[in-house]
Every structure is written in C-alpha cells, then in structure tokens.
Amino acid sequence: MFAASFPKFGYPAFAWIALAPAIVAIATSAGSVSLRRSASLGFVTGLVYFAGTLYWVVEVMHRYGDLAWPLAAPIGLLLVSYLAIYTAVWAVLLRLAVRKMGVSGVWLAPAFWVAMEWVRGSIGGGFPWALLGSSQASVVPIVQLASVTGVFGLSALVALVGTAAAVFSLTHRRAHRLAVAAVAVLLIVVATAGTVRASHARLTMSGDPIRVGLVQGAVEQDQKYDPRFQNLILDRYIALSREAIANGANVVIWPEASTTFYFDAQAARALPIRRLAAETRTPFILGTDDYQAPIAGRTEQFFNAAVLVGPDGRSTQKYRKIHLVPFGEYVPLKSVLFFVGPLIQAVSDFSPGHEAVVFDDRGRRISVAICYEAIYPALATAFVQNGSQLLATITNDAWFGWSSAAYQHFEQAGLRAVEQGRYVVRAANTGISGAIDPYGRTVARTTLFEPIAITVDVRLLTDRTIYSRTGDVVAWISLLTTAGFALTTLPIRRRSRHRGNANPGA
C-alpha cells in the first residue's frame, strides 16, 4: 500500500491506511517477539515500499551507468535496503513503546515515522524521495496543510490516520475510541479548511503577473552528447524559444543541462543564444555545465549550474546546484564501492554549490532548483527567505524514460508551491514541464517526450506562508519526542536486565 500511494500507478488514498497493517503486526507481537523480529517486519515493509517507488533506479544504472543487469540490480537493492533501515528502526521503536505503554504506545507511531523521514532526508545530503506526505500532493483539500506544517506535517497527519485505524482494530477501550474519533474530526477540519483556502485562492490574484516560456526539447539522453546531434539540439531549442517569445513570454526557461557545452566558457557556441536574447530583449534562464579552473592550489571543479542571461545577451548571475544526485552526479563512498567501476567512469564528477542564489531580472526575483533539488523543502525555504518571488525548477528526466519517476518528480515539486505560497514553473528536457499554483493545482503540464514550448501566466508573490516562517516544527517535535522516548526507555531496559541477573527469582 505504501508503494501504491504514489504515481504513476498508485493512488493517494492507499497512503491513509498503509501504516495500519504494519502497526498491528508489530503491536500484536510485542510481548512475544524479539526486537530482531520487529526490525525484520519493518525492514521488509521498507523493502517493498522503496522497491515499488524506486524500481526505475536499476534501469537508469544499467542503461546510462553502463552496468550489466547482474550488477545494476544488486546496487539498486543496496539503495532500497539502506532506505528500509529507517522503517526497521521505526518498527523497533514502536515495539519498545508498546512493550512499555501497551496500546497507548501505538500513538507514538506517527512521531517515530516523521522523525525517521526527517533523518532520511538529512543524513549525508539526504534522500527525501517519496515521503509519506508527498503522496497527497495532488489532493488539493489536504495538501493545503503544507502551507502551515510543510510536507512533514502531511506525513504526520497521514501516519496519524493510519495509526488510528490500527488502534481501532486493536482495542475497544473507550479512551482510545474517543481518540480515534478525535483523529476523524481533525481530518474533517483539515479537509474543510483546505477546501475553503483553495476556493478563495487569494494568492492567484496577488502580485505582479508574468508570462513564462518553458522549453521542452525532448532530447534522448544517448543523443545529448553525440556530436552528430549537437547542432540539431541547439537549433531545436532556439526554434522553440522563438515560439515562446512570439506568444508573449517575459522570460524563457530551458531545462537542466540543456546546452551541450560550457555556456560561459565556450563563447562561440553560446553566441546564437545570446543573440536571440538581445534581439528579442528577452531574458533566458539556462541549465548548463559550469567549469572553474584551478585556483589557489585547488583542482579544477565542475558544477551543474543555471545561468541568467539578461535582455542584452550577457550572463548576469549563476546558481550552482547544491544537492547533487548520488550515483548520478557523484559516487559516494568510491573507495568502498570499487566494484562499480563502469558507473564511476560514467557519472559526472560534479562539485556542490554552496549558496541559494536568487536571480534578479530587473526586479523580478526568480530562484532555480536543479533536478531533484525540488524535493528538498529547506532549499525552497532558503530561496524564499532570500527574496524569491517565483520558484523555478529545471531538470533532465530523460534518465527516467517512461517510468514512474517523472510523475513522482513533478508532484513532489508541486508541494513546494503550497509550502512556500509561490507558483512553481518547471522546464524538463523530456517532461513533465508545466506550472503549479500556490494551492498545488496544476496550471499546465506537458506530456513526456514531446518537443514543445508552452507559455504559462503566473504571478510574482511576496507573501510568506506560516511554514516558510516557522520551518519544520512538526519534524522537530517528532525528533524530540523520539529522542526523549529513546533516552527514557533504553536505560530502563538495561537496569531491568541488571536487576534480573541479581535476583533470578524475581
């Protein structure tokens, strides 16, 4: 049910009860089953969860990482197994809570779950893909909660409903039944308030309007750096850009790595783009690789970057991607993963950027998240705190083919719109390109692998949501609750074992 909660094959309703079977399985065996058994239950749950949502990783490594299937499949399993560790820890914590508090301990399940999601999205750069709350990105009444609590608040609500369902099946005690009823009331209140907020749609009538041109070149990944296609690719992007400008675009956005050369370092190849910007007096935002020569004893560095080209055709600002894709833009733990040599050779060895730069086009302030940076709530918050009025995302999802990844990616980017109270515009090489309004509603979207230029009318907004001001309060409460439980529970278990050894007959 976890895996079935996400696109393109799933449906958000499954997420609301996905946690219940796992909770019941752990709670009903808490008195007789070892911690290792509970961990196994959680681990298997995680394996199915992440295998069902990240199955496409294996195809990416095989096709573009030059790994044979017998090697790509175990590497994919390694990633899924790593992520499943977090559900295993959640299961162990839940089992300890039930042992200590009985059925009442089950109510800690949402806090444990959110804490594990936050840790998963933070350790070693994090991998917050397919968070439980992101399954509700397309459910407009519910997703409005993200403007107050962020995605972790959505995860907490969904997990709380699943927990209530589990408690309802575990006990008939009046206090717990009342708590279940309170959860039902909370869900109704959230859905009603969300419906009212989205229907008023105040933000869609605020701010200055701007028409954005989104260019989707639909370039196959194996053609991208083939010299035979270089001129064809550039000509296609130029032609599509002219269409967007003819339709009134105030700014044109190209996808991640849309130039097949170093835009600021190879002047002759960049000239047609600069001429078009100057000729039409239209600014461009381009995805390109960026190069920094060795300086002050440091080796040369390569970056995945976005460049703002002003209406005079000159580069004015640059943003370098901060959150790099593991096994896509760098290989973590190279010395340990020595056996994936072909993958290491195939992966670009990028360096991360360090500053959440917001582009300023004559007072219009636009931020750019590159590729899967769109799934990081904290980065979007940093952009808005730095003055972003419009959240742009550029990506190259050609790696994903026709799999679920492109659909999951689009929906997760849309969550940032609700969290920050901003429009999100998205230019993707092979799709899905489009725009999402500040209430999570899709304004426009393209189909996959279609060369197309679209223009979308959005607004530059300056109002701040509660979430953009307070951040991940729900996640921090969950972390503190989890840490407090662990600190008060584990010492008790050690003391109990000590007393038991001293008095075996006790």
CA distance 23 to 164: 10
Whole-angstrom distance between the N-terminal and C-terminal Cα of the chain? Answer: 44
Which of 117, 318, 321, 329 is catalytic? The answer is: 321
* 256 noted as active-site residue: yes
Neighbouring residues of 429: CB distance < 8 A, sequence distance ≥ 6:
216, 217, 218, 219, 255, 256, 257, 258, 395, 396, 397, 398
- Using the Cα atoms of residue 491, residue 492, residue 495 and residue 496 in order, give the sign of their dihedral: negative
Give the tokens for residue 243.
Answer: 């269409």
The rounded distance, in Å, linking the Cα atoms of 390 and 159 is: 31
Catalytic residue among 256, 329, 411, 419: 256
Q: Which two tokens stand for residue 130?
A: 């397919």
Based on the residue annotation, tell me whether 371 is a catalytic residue of this protein. Answer: yes
Name the active-site residue from 117, 318, 329, 371: 371
Residue with tokens 């935002």: 285
Sheet of strand 315-320: strand arrangement? 315-320, 301-309, 284-292, 251-253, 208-216, 452-460
| Cα distance between residue 52 and residue 22, in whole Å | 17
Cβ(358)–Cβ(387) below 8 Å: yes
What's the rounded Cα separation, in Å, for the pair 275 and 281?
Answer: 10
Q: Which of 51, 49, 67 is nearest to 59 (CA)?
A: 67
Question: Which residues, including other chains, have CB under 8 Å from residue 190's CB and lie 6 or more apart?
Answer: 141, 142, 144, 145, 157
> Could you identify the residue written with the tokens 């991607």?
321
- Is residue 100 part of the annotated active site? The answer reads no
**The tokens of 347 are what?**
């992966």
Phi, psi angle pair for 450, to nearest 5° = -120, 115
Place of tokens 């499949």: 73
Asked if 189 and 176 count as a contact pair (C-beta separation under 8 A), the reply is no
CB 280 within 8 A of CB 312: no
Give the DSSP H/E element, type plus range, for residue 499. helix 473-502
Secondary structure (H, E, C), 14-29: HHHHHHHHHHHHHHHC
Catalytic machinery residues: 256, 321, 371
